[in-house]
Chain A
């Protein structure tokens, strides 16, 4: 391929027959003269008949290959005819004219052909798509279109048969002819078109059709045949179309430095609007290759050119003339550099109905496109009105260049990138705001939640305010208890922490009581002291007082609970107990109960230690009850209980002795810890006394212990 050069450089010797017979050889005859070629072919044929085995080897000589014997027979006839014809031609005109100059066949080895084809995926795809006998999508589409044609049925049948006939003819030609010539093929197709046009216009079956319908029938005929045989007819392997394609592509690439100024056309390369229109035109131009049928390719060309006219109109501000149009088209072709340019043009030129490219808008623009390409191929420094040296250096790449188009493209690309980035940033920003909004919402919700919680808590607090009420023990009860204690004279027997603690107080009380309750205050103080010491067990006098009536019943339930206090102070238990003994319980007291529960949480721990004591604590009540009736029967229940609760602990010592007597409870193993507890309770005393705000009692309490004994 590489050493192929224009005719002018070929020496006479090269043109002579390779056999050396002195006649001119012919590329079509494998470099032989017609006579030698025929002789050789005869020999080959003989060989072929002799042994089918060597068929392939013989075909390497360039005649035939992979054909059944029947085929080769029919082929021989055709070949003979053709050879005669060719001989006649070459005899009549020894120097072949341009049009009869035979195409050299097999210029590119088949393998290379294939690889070249592979470089064009479209071609491969087409080949795959047009596998024979598989009704492809296009075929079914054609069937549909055929049905839509407004023609009588028999006309359609005729149309179909004509299509099949031409199809068959083309395939036959492609398969059977040893020396293929694209002109012959073109003639074959063109003749078929003419024949079909005759049929459409003169055949009786098409009589009722209107001219438009006839036109559409012809169009359909062409379209179907061309689409079906696109793979055979488009850039056939025995032509040099592909080489031309590559050549012109290279050329255009070399000419990338050309600007619209060089071409003297009025395209503003930098203008964004103009560039868009150029892009439209370019995309149409490139799109030519994607169509199968010539008329579609032509339509594509027309669209491309219309875009160019729009472009010129916008850049010139008026209707453009051909003077402006051609340079613009050249510019577009240069910038588009479409693939398979020559193949496409030749395909249209050869296989479309002749009148299409000769006349009409499509023909006009197609001609313009052809001229543009011709111009590009023959371009020299004069046609660009620049110096020869400059042209050379630009072509060879020695001189650097920067065209506004390229710069615009670059700028465009960067602008594109920028806009892409901007889009990206915008998205990020959106997400960012979404996130910050979410955060704000979340914060608000959080605050709301906090507020709600506080509100709820506040309402609850408001509903159930924490009020630490001083323990009130009716003085007469204390007095009674004291009297009771004094009466029994069991002070010594108390031996318990509380009794020890209280002993002073009680002594004092007893003293006071003995003094005959001269004043309220000392009693009050004593009561406070007592309550302080006992506070561990009874913090809420009222609650205890309220629940105290249950003590009788609780005697049995004691086992179930860690302590009777626990029973009293746990709201749940209280409720359950209330339910059990609703006649005694006051529902309204629930709030206080609750409060008591809340306030007593701290004490639960302390009390648990004394569960043993407490568990027994109720028993004294029984005892007390036993005693009480003696002292006071008529006293209302609640105050009595309040007192009892106070006395519960004070009487612990008494009860202790009674524990075995009840038999229900074992002596508490925790008893030894009583000493500990006392110490602890000692610490507790100041804290509770603080609530009362009365320190004097504290002092008294601390200092007093000695007194009673002294007093005693």
Chain B
């Protein structure tokens, strides 16, 4: 069986329900009544689509404006981004646009984008029209979903579509940060502490099931960036804030070396 391991970041303004989206999804997937107790901003879940096992590492991010500066650290090396906005607040939708711009600026690797309009249950207060969101999603090559964390609508589709996008990305072989490997059963090359693992085998085995017949399932077009060749050797970017990145003035003359 093939295995794919991808990193998925969840972006969006504060209060749009990013965390709620993930928590609800994991909860439903695990068929648990109670919500996860501790670590709730990092999840791993395994989705099996046909003969591909996809391991999603979902990184929740802080949506506050003040943390925008550190966001690149989170979406660095990410393979997919789930952009969440609150359809009852137009402001959150415009902020998504700025997120997208930022992603375009900072991410070179192709990335699967999924746009999610949350709080579908509050149709009466809707501020972002479906068409507008859909058009925007198309323009950025994203898939658009509308969800509700209250009624659990469309949650699974978001993640399934992301997983499918990752499979396609792996097939194209353009993204090097996306780990692709042959796996018999367990996932090799991973050291993560799998907090939650979810096998959507039941769903995946029957792609024609109701879960897949949804109005808005469109496979987004991955963003084709500059396609910078990654070395694949695990080189790390040094953090952008490291002091080494600043050229310094006079250097003290070395006198000796004791090492």
In the complex, the answer to whether B252 meets A353 with C-beta atoms within 8 Å is no
Cα–Cα distance between A178 and B188 once the two chains are bound (Å):
39
Interface-side segment among A76-84, A98-106, A570-578 = A98-106
Q: List 24 A-B contacts (CB under 8 A).
A: A5-B249, A31-B250, A59-B257, A62-B257, A110-B258, A190-B233, A201-B188, A239-B244, A240-B243, A309-B39, A313-B38, A325-B62, A342-B243, A346-B242, A349-B239, A355-B179, A358-B236, A361-B193, A364-B41, A374-B70, A374-B240, A375-B70, A384-B66, A385-B66
Cα–Cα distance between A684 and B42 once the two chains are bound (Å):
115
In the complex, the answer to whether A106 meets B254 with C-beta atoms within 8 Å is yes
- Known pairs A319-B23, A360-B57; A383 contacts B257 (CB<8 A): no
- Known pairs A306-B38, A367-B74; A354 contacts B234 (CB<8 A): yes
Cα–Cα distance between A375 and B73 once the two chains are bound (Å):
11
Interface-side segment among B13-21, B45-53, B136-144, B162-170 = B13-21
Residues of B within 8 A of A414 (CB): none
Residues of B within 8 A of A98 (CB): 245
Q: Mark B119-145, 1 if CB is under 8 A from A, else 0.
A: 000000000000000000000000000
**B59 on interface, CB distance cutoff 8 Å:** yes
**A586 on interface, CB distance cutoff 8 Å:** no
Cα–Cα distance between A381 and B241 once the two chains are bound (Å):
19
- Known pairs A106-B257, A321-B18, A364-B42; A355 contacts B247 (CB<8 A): no
CB of B174 to closest CB in A, whole Å: 18
**B147 on interface, CB distance cutoff 8 Å:** no
**B33 on interface, CB distance cutoff 8 Å:** no
**A485 on interface, CB distance cutoff 8 Å:** no
Q: Mark B2-35, 1 if CB is under 8 A from A, else 0.
A: 0001010010001100111001000000000001
- Known pairs A319-B23, A321-B18; A101 contacts B244 (CB<8 A): yes
In the complex, the answer to whether A31 meets B251 with C-beta atoms within 8 Å is yes
**A686 on interface, CB distance cutoff 8 Å:** no
In the complex, the answer to whether B256 meets A110 with C-beta atoms within 8 Å is yes
Q: Out of A190, A356, A378, name the residue touching B191 (CB < 8 Å).
A: A356
Cα–Cα distance between A33 and B202 once the two chains are bound (Å):
65
CB of A128 to closest CB in B, whole Å: 16
Q: Mark A518-537, 1 if CB is under 8 A from B, else 0.
A: 00000000000000000000
CB of A262 to closest CB in B, whole Å: 10
Q: Which chain A residues in 378-434 approach chain B with CB under 8 Å? A: 378, 382-385
**B221 on interface, CB distance cutoff 8 Å:** no
Residues of A within 8 A of B39 (CB): 305-306, 309, 361
Residues of A within 8 A of B247 (CB): 6-7, 10, 27, 101
Residues of A within 8 A of B36 (CB): 319
Contacts between the two chains (Cβ within 8 Å), count: 239
- Known pairs A14-B250, A106-B252, A323-B14; A309 contacts B241 (CB<8 A): no
Residues of A within 8 A of B20 (CB): 321
Residues of A within 8 A of B59 (CB): 322, 364, 367
Q: Which chain A residues in 336-385 approach chain B with CB under 8 Å? A: 342, 345-346, 349-350, 353-365, 367, 370-375, 377-378, 382-385
Interface-side segment among A85-93, A191-199, A695-703 = A191-199
A-side binding surface: helix, strand, loop or mixed?
helix
Residue of B nearest to A307 (CB): B38
**A108 on interface, CB distance cutoff 8 Å:** yes
CB of B176 to closest CB in A, whole Å: 12
Q: Mark A312-327, 1 if CB is under 8 A from B, else 0.
A: 0100001111110111
In the complex, the answer to whether B234 meets A193 with C-beta atoms within 8 Å is yes
In the complex, the answer to whether A360 meets B243 with C-beta atoms within 8 Å is no
CB of B149 to closest CB in A, whole Å: 12
In the complex, the answer to whether B73 meets A367 with C-beta atoms within 8 Å is yes
Residues of A within 8 A of B38 (CB): 306, 309-310, 313
Q: Mark A215-226, 1 if CB is under 8 A from B, else 0.
A: 100010000000
**B195 on interface, CB distance cutoff 8 Å:** yes
**B186 on interface, CB distance cutoff 8 Å:** yes
In the complex, the answer to whether A321 meets B243 with C-beta atoms within 8 Å is no
Residues of A within 8 A of B236 (CB): 186, 190, 349-350, 354, 357-358
- Known pairs A190-B235, A359-B57; A302 contacts B193 (CB<8 A): yes
In the complex, the answer to whether A326 meets B248 with C-beta atoms within 8 Å is no
CB of A709 to closest CB in B, whole Å: 128
Q: Which chain A residues in 1-22 approach chain B with CB under 8 Å? A: 1, 3-7, 9-10, 14
Q: Out of A60, A197, A322, A384, name the residue touching B255 (CB < 8 Å).
A: A60
Residue of B nearest to A218 (CB): B191
